[in-house]
Amino acid sequence: MPEFCIQIFTFSRRGGTLHTKIDEQIIFNQLDHNEYAIWSLLLASGYLKVERYTMDPETGKEEYDLKLTNKEVRLMFRNMIEGWFKTYVPADNDFIKALLEGDVEAMNYYYEQGCARHIQQF
């Protein structure tokens, strides 16, 4: 799930597209272990739209470029993510400490931990 946090953060800040596969046979219990399931769910629920679709005729491999549907959706995700970091959690002090020390490796570690903690809200 930390990769999801980074990707949705990038979406909400910069816009653009995400190049990925989609699992059209999504089952909710797959959300924890199928990296494509969350994108499939967001697409099916209208938060994302298909910008481009490709299929390799030889392998049948399908890939999609997905984009947030509109400004309101982008703002909703941006506010949700900002809310994750506004809440004071003592463990976040380690992230701030790493940030001030310029320790990028530690920042990434604590960011992933924070995302994993907060992603359950989503």
16's CB contacts (< 8 A; 6+ apart) are 10, 67
Distance from chain centroid for Cα 102: 24
Question: Burial of 40 by CB count in 10 Å (0-12 exposed, 13-18 middle, 19+ buried)?
Answer: buried
Which helix (H) or strand (E) element contains residue 50?
Answer: strand 48-55
Residue ranges per domain, the chain? 2-121
Band of residue 52 on the pLDDT scale cut at 50, 70, 90: very high
The pLDDT, as a whole number, for residue 55 is: 94
Summarised one tens digit per residue, pLDDT across range 57-91 is 999 999 999 999 998 988 888 887 777 666 655 55
> Residue 110: pLDDT above 90?
no
In this prediction, residue 88 carries a pLDDT of 55
Q: What pLDDT, on the 0 to 100 scale, is given for residue 89? A: 58
Cβ-count burial 81-107 (b if 16+ within 10 Å, e if not): beebeeeeeeebebbeebeeeeeeeeb
Alpha carbon distance 114, 2 (integer Å): 9
Q: The pTM is what?
A: 0.63
Instruction: Look at 87 and 94; give whichever has higher pLDDT.
Output: 94
Q: Which residue has the tokens 């570690």?
A: 109
